[in-house]
């Protein structure tokens, strides 16, 4: 175990944990916004897949990562419109609709990949951006300031989303609609408009999360997300619907995953122990969820469609 507790090893684990946490963070922030307004979207993973393919295909065709990011965002926005029509316009049951969106994303992203690309050819992303001055700080710079620009964008969104939810009139409306839509409606807040807006924001961020995944990996493959969208939903509960909490959950999940990977690489765990440690991130998340769910209540109107007079 001594090999693990070296400076070089720990520096790598922290950097690796941050990279692994980024897609969870983006998707989780979006889902947190949606859930604070009372909208559960189980289709995050499907939207991520569509965003991932959109970005990958765009870069494959144009060699422009920037354009790829915008396409990922755009794909998420379009899926947000679809989900808003289904859940806000048609007032369909959110859980079932979300699963439908997930299956749609899973199937159509693979179909489009097979038809448009086929063999998984690599693409070039942004590469690491070394933040001037900060990246030169020994060890600290290597851990925190030598990542892709998309990593910085994701973490910069945490205070931005926190400010939006806690310090603006829109955020107040979001929280009111998520807790008591009837009361918010009686005060003149358009529940439909607020929820539509949060759905668009949530899906756009999910599309970005998918784009980050394919751009950073430089590849697309069937079911590339491997269930990351569902983990992001769990992390929203873990984070008690607060952006900083979601970031904490994403970082914990990423850091535990990175730690387990490093243990295996160093040969510190093998055989059955290797299989058991691979479950550690999920087990820790579930344990934390159990604790947090006993202390923090979810938005009271979560998953409940709003209909005036009912």
Choose the stretch contacting other proteins; rule: CB under 8 A; options: 145-153, 163-171, 257-265, 290-298.
257-265
Q: What is the pattern of x (binds other proteins, CB under 8 A) and - over residues 165-184?
A: --------------------
If you search the block for the tokens 């387990």, which residue do you land on?
A: 260
Nearer to other proteins, 213 or 240 (CB): 213
If you search the block for the tokens 């990922």, which residue do you land on?
A: 72
Q: Are 35 and 191 a contacting pair, CB within 8 Å?
A: no
d(CA 71, CA 56): 9
Of 84, 301, 300, the residue nearest 193 (C-alpha) = 84
Q: What is the pattern of x (binds other proteins, CB under 8 A) and - over residues 1-20?
A: -------xx--x---x--xx
Minimum distance between the CB of residue 184 and other proteins, rounded to whole angstroms? 20
Choose the stretch contacting other proteins; rule: CB under 8 A; options: 32-40, 90-98, 176-184, 289-297.
90-98
d(CA 281, CA 201): 28
Nearer to other proteins, 12 or 129 (CB): 12
- Which region, left, alpha or beta, applies to residue 154 given φ > 0 means left and ψ of -120 to 50 means alpha? alpha
Q: Are 120 and 233 a contacting pair, CB within 8 Å?
A: no
d(CA 133, CA 198): 37
- Restricted to residues 110-139, the positions that interact with other proteins (CB under 8 A) are 110-111, 113-114, 118-122, 127
Q: Which residues bind other proteins (CB under 8 A)?
A: 8-9, 12, 16, 19-20, 23, 85-86, 89-92, 96-97, 100, 103-104, 107-108, 110-111, 113-114, 118-122, 127, 213, 216-219, 221-224, 226, 228, 257-258, 261-262, 264-267, 271, 274-275, 278, 307
């Amino acid at each position: 175990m001594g090999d693990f507790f070296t400076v070089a090893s720990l520096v790598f684990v922290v950097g690796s944990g941050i990279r692994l946490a980024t897609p969870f963070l983006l998707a989780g922030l979006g889902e947190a916004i949606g859930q604070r307004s009372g909208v559960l979207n189980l289709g995050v993973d499907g939207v991520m897949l569509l965003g991932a393919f959109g970005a990958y295909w765009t870069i494959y065709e144009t060699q422009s990562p920037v354009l790829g990011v915008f396409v990922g965002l755009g794909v998420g926005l379009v899926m947000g419109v679809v989900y808003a029509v289904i859940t806000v316009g048609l007032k369909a049951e959110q859980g079932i609709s979300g699963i439908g969106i997930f299956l749609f994303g899973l199937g159509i992203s693979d179909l489009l990949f097979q038809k448009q690309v086929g063999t998984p050819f690599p693409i070039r992303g942004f590469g690491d951006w070394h933040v001037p001055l900060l990246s030169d700080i020994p060890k600290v710079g290597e851990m925190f300031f030598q990542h892709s620009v998309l990593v910085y964008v994701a973490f910069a969104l945490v205070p931005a989303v926190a400010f939006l939810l806690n310090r603006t009139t829109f955020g107040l409306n979001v929280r009111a609609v998520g807790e008591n839509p009837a009361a918010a409606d009686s005060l003149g807040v358009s529940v439909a408009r607020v929820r539509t807006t949060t759905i668009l924001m949530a899906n756009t961020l999910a599309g970005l999360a998918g784009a980050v995944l394919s751009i950073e990996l430089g590849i697309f493959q069937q079911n590339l997300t491997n269930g990351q969208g569902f983990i992001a939903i769990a992390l929203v509960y873990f984070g008690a619907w607060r952006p900083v909490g979601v970031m904490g959950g994403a970082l914990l999940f990423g850091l535990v995953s990175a730690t387990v990977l490093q243990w295996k690489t160093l040969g510190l765990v093998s055989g059955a122990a290797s299989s058991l440690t691979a479950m550690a991130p999920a087990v820790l998340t579930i344990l934390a969820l159990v604790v947090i769910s006993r202390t923090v209540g979810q938005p009271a109107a979560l998953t409940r469609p709003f209909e005036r007079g009912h």
